Amino acid sequence: MLRSTLMVFALVSGCAFSPAGIDSDSADLDRSSNYVAAGTPDAVAVLALVNDPATTLSILDDAVRLDSRAAANISAHRLGLDGLAGTADDGLFASIAELDAIPYVGVSALTRLLDYANAHGYGAGEPTPPQPREALILAVANDATLDFATLDDDVGLDRRAASGIVDRRPFASIEALDAVPYVGDSALARLHAYAVANDYGAPDTGAPRRCGGRSRVDCGANAFCDYPIASYCGRGDRGGTCRPIPEACSADYAPVCGCNGLSFSNACLAAAAGVSVVREGACLAGLGGRCNDATACGADLVCEGIAGEGSERYGFCRPAASVPGYWETCTSEGECNDGLSCFGLALGASEGWCGDDWARRTFYSSSEVAIPDDDGAGASATSTIIARGLATAEMDVVITLRVQHTYRGDLRIVLTSPVGEEAVVFEGRPDDSAADVALDRLALPFPGDGSANGAWTLRLTDRAAEDVGVLTSWSLEVSSRWD
C-alpha cells in the first residue's frame, strides 16, 4: 500500500506543478529525493532505518542489497570521522534530500531502503505534514541568500522576475509576490520546485543540515560544509553536511589533505579552518599547486609567496632552480630566454631585467563595491586583492579597472601596497563632469622594494555630494624579484 501511495504522490506532484512551457528536468521535479516525499510515512521509515545504529554496513550491503558503494558511503556519512556509532561526530541524516546526495544513492537505493524499512517495522511515530505550497514558495522568494544569479540560473526564473523579487523582498503573501512584474504561474511553479528539491519544508530536528551539491544551504559563520571523503569535495553535485566548527583541537599528528589543496595536522584542525577533508595523509603539491607550511611541494620545487589568513593562507610551488639567463639585462620581452620575461619596463625605463615567468601574475576582483556619496567626513569604499605565489619584492605594478559613476570628477582612487606604500590611480578634477572611469594597464610608481605578496587595497573616495557610483571590477598585474 505504501508503494502505491508513493508512486501516486510522485505522479501527482509531477503533474500538478508542471504547467505548459516548464521542462520537468529544468524545474528539478524528477529528482530521486522527490520519489520519497519529505514528511510522509515513507520518509520517516527510510530515515529511521539509515539512522539506526543497528543498521550496519553489512546490513545495508547484504540484507538491504544496496550497491556496495552506496552502502559504504551511507555508513561512512552516518558514523562520521571516527567510524563509531553514537559519538559526537555522527552524521545522522536529516532529510531524504541529504540521503539522496550520497554518491550512488538514487531511486533504486531508496526503493530497496523503503522495502526493507516497511518489512522490519521502521517509521513509528507521526510524520510532520508537508508545508503548504504557498509557504514553500514564499520561503524561497524571501531567502536573502538566493541572489539574482541563483534565481536566474538555478531556480530558472525569467531575468526580469528574478530582478523584481530581489528588489522587492520580503513578501508577506503570495498575492504580493504575484504582483511583481513577470512573476506568474510559471515562476511560482519553479520556485516551488526549487523549495521541494532543497528541503525548504523540512522540519528543524536539530540534526545536521545538508549543504553543497545542488543545495543552496548556507551553513553560517560557525559551521562548514563537510563532505564525505568518498564524494571528493562535492564533485559532480554531491552534497555534504553542515558541521559546527570546533572550538579546540588536539595537537595529535594525523595529517589530512583538505579540499582547498592544503594539508592540516589532523582532521579537527581542518574543520577548525572550515575545510572539509578530501583524503587522509598530507597533500603533495606539484608545479603551480597550492602550498603552505604543512603542505610539501614535489621534487625540485619550493613553496613561494605564502600570503593570506586562515584557510586562505597559502603560496604556490615554484621551480627551485633559476632559468639560465635570469637577471640579465633586456630592453624588450623577446630578448629573454624561454621561461623568462623582461621586467622593469612598465614605467618607461629603457632597460630592464629578465625574471622568471612565474614571478609575474595577474590577480582579479569582480565583486562590485558601492561607492558612498560624500558625507563631509571622507566616506570611501575599499576592495582588496591578495597577491601570492610571487618573489619577494614588487617591480612592475599595472592596474586595470572599471568604475561606474555619474560624475567622475568627484573621485580619488588610491592603491595601497602590502607594506603601506601608496600610489594615486585616479585624481578627479572638480570640473570633469564626465561619467565613469575606465583604465587599461596603467603602470603605477611604486618604489620597487616593498613586498609583492599580500593585501593590495584599492580605496575609492567621493569628495562631493549628490553623485554615487560602483566599482565593477579591477585587476592587478605584479612583476616581482628577489630582494
**CA-to-CA distance for 164 and 158, rounded, in angstroms?**
10
What pLDDT sits at residue 29?
Answer: 32
Other Cβ atoms closer than 10 A to 308: 16
In the predicted structure, residue 217 carries a pLDDT above the cut 70: no
pLDDT tens, position by position, 130-171: 457 788 888 889 888 888 988 988 888 999 999 999 999 888
DSSP 332-348: SGGGSPTTEEEES-TT-
CA angle 389, 286, 395 (to 5 degrees): 20
Looking at residue 131, what DSSP letter applies?
P
Q: In this prediction, what percent of the chain has a pLDDT beyond 90?
A: 41
Give the confidence band of 422 by pLDDT, cuts at 50, 70, 90.
Answer: very high
Other Cβ atoms closer than 10 A to 371: 22
Q: Where are the domains of the chain?
A: 245-318, 329-358, 361-481
**CA-to-CA distance for 394 and 450, rounded, in angstroms?**
6
**CA-to-CA distance for 62 and 112, rounded, in angstroms?**
12
Beta-bridged to residue 391, according to DSSP, are none
Q: Which of the residue ranges 16-30, 223-237, 339-353, 461-475 would you say has the lowest mean pLDDT?
A: 16-30
Q: Which of the residue ranges 67-71, 102-106, 213-217 would you say has the lowest mean pLDDT?
A: 213-217
Q: Give me the CATH code for the 361-481 domain, please.
A: 2.60.120.260
Evaluate whether 313 touches 306 at the Cβ level (below 8 Å): yes
Fold of 245-318: Wheat Germ Agglutinin (Isolectin 2); domain 1 (3.30.60)
What pLDDT sits at residue 199?
Answer: 67
Q: In this structure, what C-alpha cell is assigned to residue 185?
A: 504561474
Q: In this structure, what C-alpha cell is assigned to residue 423?
A: 600610489
Q: In this structure, what C-alpha cell is assigned to residue 3?
A: 508503494
What pLDDT sits at residue 458?
Answer: 98
Q: In this prediction, what percent of the chain has a pLDDT beyond 70?
A: 85
User: Dihedrals φ, ψ of 44, to 5°?
Assistant: -60, -45
Helix (H) or strand (E) run with residue 188 in it: helix 185-197
Residue type present at position 360:
R
**CA-to-CA distance for 33 and 42, rounded, in angstroms?**
12
**CA-to-CA distance for 223 and 264, rounded, in angstroms?**
18
**Residues 301-325, mean pLDDT to the nearest whole number:** 90
Burial of residue 426 (CB within 10 Å: 0-12, 13-18, 19+) is middle
Evaluate whether 479 touches 391 at the Cβ level (below 8 Å): no
**Residues 63-91, mean pLDDT to the nearest whole number:** 83
Beta-bridged to residue 244, according to DSSP, are 223
In the predicted structure, residue 7 carries a pLDDT above the cut 50: no
Q: In this structure, what C-alpha cell is assigned to residue 204?
A: 528543524
Q: Which of the residue ranges 20-24, 42-46, 239-243 would you say has the lowest mean pLDDT?
A: 20-24
Residue type present at position 382:
T
**Residues 418-441, mean pLDDT to the nearest whole number:** 95
**CA-to-CA distance for 341 and 358, rounded, in angstroms?**
9
Question: 225 CB contacts (<8 Å, ≥6 apart)?
Answer: 211, 212, 219, 234, 240, 241, 242, 243, 276
What pLDDT sits at residue 309?
Answer: 85
CA angle 24, 27, 30 (to 5 degrees): 50
pLDDT tens, position by position, 116-129: 887 777 754 444 44
